[in-house]
């Protein structure tokens, strides 16, 4: 009886402190598989509780003396089965773990602290595969980043696209999705020429709230941001590789590296707590419903199919060579040669090149506007 009364008073005190009388959400941590041993994971859980006392943390792994509620197992396969069971039953709201086989269509959204100004930034995405097609994957990564950002309290996250192969096409697709009615807030690069395509400087500055990239690049970025001060063997900064997000996926599973140290583990648990209280699954359901209403899959399909059908088998002969000092930017590097061929076919001499901010098409100064009209009419993005 006394224990029950004490627990009730504790819950009331916690609710008054947090401002919410909703049931406290449990977040879990699996404790098998770290390169630094089980003690580092337990240290991370203790640190999380010390830094964020409102969190209720449970462990999945070996018996321990931490005082945390523990679902005991010494087998990694059983550990993941317990994790899935507890998530599906609602007994835990999220779980931080070091490995999980997400299905195709789901990728994880990382959260880092940028070195320039100590600003938090979402990296979308860091593990998993949103789609086997690069452009489609990066578009879906952008949506996953927006969902994660909203779940941690950023109501109108600003989105930037890292300057990688496919970035310009991703920009075009996202802007078309926005034109159809789905709200995306684009940021501007801090470099003098601006634009939604982000440079390396923007990574360090944390220019966007959500930095869109492919998963492999995002994975490397996470390792650089988290362990550049430690030489790579022990991740000391950031919130880990984040939750797996994808249409129809409802398990809040967050990934950390086997090299993650106690500070990252603690922050990853906080990230899990944040998205749980931010009702990430409800946000995801709402966002995907809005995207379905604007026909986002059709927009993606139209733009990705173009890359596979635009090149023609017949050889196109170049027009007479001209002095080309006029620059047209914005064409994706994967479409650059197709764009040059399209101009040749329309009797405009052009060459491909690489400018300071990415791929460019070179034409005569007096042909710039005509060239842009041709390229835009054929579906090439230009700036």
Catalytically active residues are 356
Contact indicator for 333, 359 with CB cutoff of 8 Å = yes
**CB proximity list for 28: less than 8 A, separation 6 or greater:** 57, 58, 59, 60, 71, 83, 86, 92, 94, 95, 96
Which residues partner with 72 through β-bridges? Answer: 61
* φ/ψ bin of 103: left (φ > 0), alpha (ψ from -120 to 50), beta (otherwise): beta
* Dihedral pair phi/psi, residue 132, rounded to 5°: -70, -20
CA-to-CA distance for 61 and 83, rounded, in angstroms?
10
- In 3D space, the residue among 370, 381, 380, 331 whose CA is nearest the CA of residue 347 turns out to be 370
- In 3D space, the residue among 47, 93, 110 whose CA is nearest the CA of residue 239 turns out to be 110
- Integer CA distances (angstroms), 165 to 23, 197, 306, 314, 331, in order: 46, 11, 16, 26, 11
SS3 call for 161: strand
CA-to-CA distance for 175 and 162, rounded, in angstroms?
15
Q: CA 271, 276, 279, 285 torsion: positive or negative? A: positive
Residue with tokens 């470099």: 191
Assigned token pair, 367: 């042909």
């Amino acid at each position: 009886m006394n224990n029950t009364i004490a627990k009730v008073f504790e819950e009331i005190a916690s609710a008054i402190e947090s401002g919410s009388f909703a049931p406290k959400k449990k977040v879990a941590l699996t404790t098998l598989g770290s390169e630094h041993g089980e003690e580092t994971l337990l240290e991370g859980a203790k640190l999380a509780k010390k830094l964020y006392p409102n969190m209720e943390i449970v462990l999945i792994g070996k018996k321990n003396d931490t005082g945390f509620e523990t679902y005991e197992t010494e087998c990694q396969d059983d550990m993941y089965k317990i994790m899935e069971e507890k998530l599906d039953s609602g007994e835990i709201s999220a779980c931080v773990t070091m490995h999980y086989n997400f299905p195709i269509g789901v990728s994880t959204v990382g959260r880092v602290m940028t070195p320039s100004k100590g600003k938090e930034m979402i990296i979308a995405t860091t593990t998993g595969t949103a789609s086997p097609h690069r452009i489609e994957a990066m578009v879906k990564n952008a949506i996953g980043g927006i969902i994660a950002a909203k779940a941690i309290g950023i109501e109108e996250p600003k989105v930037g696209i890292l300057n990688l192969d496919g970035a310009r096409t991703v920009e075009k697709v996202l802007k078309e999705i926005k034109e159809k009615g789905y709200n995306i807030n684009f940021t501007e690069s801090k470099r003098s020429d601006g634009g939604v395509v982000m440079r390396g400087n923007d990574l360090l500055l944390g220019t966007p709230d959500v930095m869109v990239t492919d998963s492999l690049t995002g994975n490397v970025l996470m390792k650089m941001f988290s362990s550049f001060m430690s030489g790579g063997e022990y991740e000391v900064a950031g919130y880990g590789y984040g939750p797996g997000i994808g249409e129809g996926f409802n398990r809040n599973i967050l990934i950390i590296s086997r090299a993650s140290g106690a500070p990252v583990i603690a922050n990853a648990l906080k990230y899990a707590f944040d998205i749980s209280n931010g009702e990430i699954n409800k946000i995801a359901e709402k966002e995907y419903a809005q995207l379905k209403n604007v026909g986002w899959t059709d927009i993606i399909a139209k733009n990705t199919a173009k890359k596979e059908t635009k090149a023609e088998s017949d050889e196109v002969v170049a027009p007479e060579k001209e002095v080309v000092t006029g620059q047209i930017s914005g064409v994706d590097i994967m479409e650059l040669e197709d764009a040059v061929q399209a101009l040749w076919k329309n009797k405009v001499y052009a060459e491909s090149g690489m400018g300071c901010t990415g791929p460019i098409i070179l034409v005569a100064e007096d042909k710039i506007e005509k060239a842009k009209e041709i390229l835009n009419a054929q579906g090439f993005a230009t700036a």
